[in-house]
């Protein structure tokens, strides 16, 4: 038996990076997985690879900033698989980067619309679908170490990720108070090598003086998408049945310093 056998999951931003790793891992551990993303070709390939490995999966073209998009994705999930138990709000953007002085209001809103509004909409409609399913559930939202500590050059990003971390606690307390059996937690990854971070990581190692991301990470390496996917799997599974409203920091010790 897999660790999430028989459960039905949606993973947003699942065409790439940590979302892809999470979708593949949840499927390997027995969940049916809806792969949501803007990137159709890559998203389809992930869903096909899961199916080729014997899992159940479906790609859905899904923009997390769209309320109608969320309603459609949830409806497709309920129609296709018959319920919802796990929602991973992973989709996120880093850019536009900039300090508080450099960013314009449009830049700020671009980051917020995906990283915060997308998570708000997903959590709202995810709770509704889990209540309809009637078997409780687990929602995992992607924050970041940049939701714990600041950085001068990513004003909107750190604000969005700090917001996700506290919004998660509010949603968790609401679900607990209402006795829905729905848990809501966040993960805070540190430096993880994915398409989103590879440019920044290459810049950090470009000077020939060693990679600063590695130097700043006590465990002495950059993380891999699976390092985070295993944390999500734990929070998504019934092994974490007494865990809600918390953040799981997966950063090689970066924020312990």
Instruction: Write the DSSP symbol of residue 223.
Output: B
Residue 245's CB is within 10 A of a number of other CB atoms, namely 17
Q: Are 98 and 46 in contact (CB under 8 A)?
A: no
Does residue 12 touch ligand NAD according to CB under 6 A? yes
> In this chain, which of 163, 189, 231, 252 binds ligand NAD, going by CB under 6 A?
189
d(CA 18, CA 117): 20
Residue 5 or 75 with smaller CB distance to ligand NAD:
75
Active site residue 157: yes
Residue 176 or 216 with smaller CB distance to ligand NAD:
216
Of 59, 125, 157, 254, which is the active-site residue?
157
> In this chain, which of 37, 155, 171, 186 binds ligand NAD, going by CB under 6 A?
37
Instruction: Count the site residues for ligand NAD by CB under 6 A.
Output: 29
d(CA 45, CA 31): 18
Helix, strand, or coil here: 234? helix
Q: Which stretch binds ligand NAD (CB under 6 A): 7-15, 51-59, 70-78, 175-183?
A: 7-15
d(CA 213, CA 78): 42
Helices (H), 99-194: 105-112, 118-133, 155-177
Name the minimum Å distance from CB 154 to ligand NAD: 10
* Phi–psi pair at 103, nearest 5 degrees: -75, 140
Q: Which stretch binds ligand NAD (CB under 6 A): 34-42, 47-55, 77-85, 98-106?
A: 34-42
Q: Are 11 and 88 in contact (CB under 8 A)?
A: yes
Does residue 231 touch ligand NAD according to CB under 6 A? no
> In this chain, which of 10, 19, 84, 254 binds ligand NAD, going by CB under 6 A?
19
Q: Are 14 and 48 in contact (CB under 8 A)?
A: no
Query: What is the per-residue binding string for ligand NAD in 61-90, x denoting contact by CB under 6 A?
Result: -xxxx------------------------x
Contact set with ligand NAD (CB under 6 A): 12-13, 15-19, 37-39, 62-65, 90-93, 114, 118, 142, 144, 189, 191-192, 194-197
């Amino acid at each position: 038996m897999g660790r999430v056998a028989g459960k039905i999951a949606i993973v947003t931003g699942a065409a790439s990076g940590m979302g892809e790793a999470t979708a593949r891992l949840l499927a390997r551990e027995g969940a049916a997985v809806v792969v949501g993303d803007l990137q159709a070709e890559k998203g389809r390939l992930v869903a096909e690879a899961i199916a080729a490995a014997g899992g159940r999966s479906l790609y859905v073209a899904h923009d997390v900033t769209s309320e109608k998009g969320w309603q459609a994705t949830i409806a497709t999930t309920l129609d296709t698989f018959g319920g919802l138990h796990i929602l991973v709000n992973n989709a996120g953007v880093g850019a536009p980067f900039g300090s508080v002085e450099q960013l314009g209001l449009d830049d700020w809103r671009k980051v917020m619309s995906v990283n915060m509004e997308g998570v708000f909409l997903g959590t709202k409609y995810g709770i509704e679908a889990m209540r309809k399913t009637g078997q409780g559930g687990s929602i995992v939202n992607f924050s970041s170490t940049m939701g714990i500590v600041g950085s001068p050059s990513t004003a909107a990003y750190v604000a969005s990720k700090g917001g996700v971390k506290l919004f998660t606690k509010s949603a968790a307390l609401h679900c607990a108070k209402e006795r829905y059996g729905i848990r809501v937690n966040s993960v805070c990854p540190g430096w993880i090598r994915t398409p989103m971070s590879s440019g920044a990581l290459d810049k950090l190692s470009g000077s020939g003086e060693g990679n600063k991301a590695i130097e700043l990470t006590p465990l002495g390496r950059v993380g891999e998408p699976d390092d985070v996917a295993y944390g999500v799997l734990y929070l998504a599974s019934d092994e974490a049945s007494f865990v809600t409203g918390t953040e799981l920091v997966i950063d090689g010790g970066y924020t312990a310093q």
